[in-house]
Amino acid sequence: MQKTILLILSFISLIGCSNESKQNNGNLRQYNTETIKSKLSVPYTTFSEGYRSLDAEMISNSYTKDALLINVYNDAEPKSFKGRKSIYNFFSENLERAKKESLNIRITFKILHRQILDEGILDNGYYKLEISSPNQDINERYGKFSIVLTQKLDEWKFSVDTNASSTKKEYEEAILIENQVLKE
């Protein structure tokens, strides 16, 4: 009888561990809205800080190892980069030019829509890129994005990052998600 009880307790414990591992592997419904925002803001913050410090390594670490970056800007050839190393090389090349010209770069994101997917989170929104020269001339560029974030070992990273050109008007009129509960 005692062996049966121990066996049942072991089985229940095993099921509990299995469910816990599933919950920690991407189920955001267990968290409140502020915790979700906090967890999902990390790759955006890291990305933005990488731009500010002109650090391609920091930016590329916002991506999963097998990430896909797709750029489809107006008046430019569409370009895609597969894998963190390729993404690092892309940003490194661009940031090296900025360093040589002593530019300061700042990027700001506006997330308009967030959706829970089976494999992660889908964010859609706009961004503003500010590039200032040593004589303080500021060049503003605007874009829109669709990003899929996935979770690995309790860290959220960009797994797909698609971005295209946008306008200042679109960016300014975009309304951020505020206290919005994530919907399926």
pLDDT digits (tens, 9 = 90+) for 9-33: 333 333 333 333 333 334 555 555 6
- Residue 137 phi, psi (nearest 5): -70, 135
pLDDT value for 92: 97
Distance CA(149)–CA(65), nearest Å, equals 12
130/161 same-domain check = yes
Q: Is residue 151 part of a domain?
A: yes
Distance CA(151)–CA(27), nearest Å, equals 9
Token pair 């040593």 in the structure block, residue: 134
Token pair 């690092």 in the structure block, residue: 88
159/31: higher pLDDT: 159
Q: Which domain holds residue 48?
A: 31-173
* pTM listed for this prediction: 0.77
pLDDT value for 98: 95
- CA 184 centroid distance within chain: 19
Domain count for the chain, please give it: 2
Rounded to 5°, angle at Cα 142 from 36 and 107 = 50
pLDDT tens for 88-143 read: 999 999 999 999 999 999 999 999 999 988 889 999 999 999 999 988 889 999 99
Does residue 163 carry a pLDDT above 70? Answer: yes
Q: Is residue 179 part of a domain?
A: no
2/46 same-domain check = no
Q: Is residue 60 part of a domain?
A: yes
For residue 154, the domain's CATH number is 3.10.450.50
43/107 same-domain check = yes
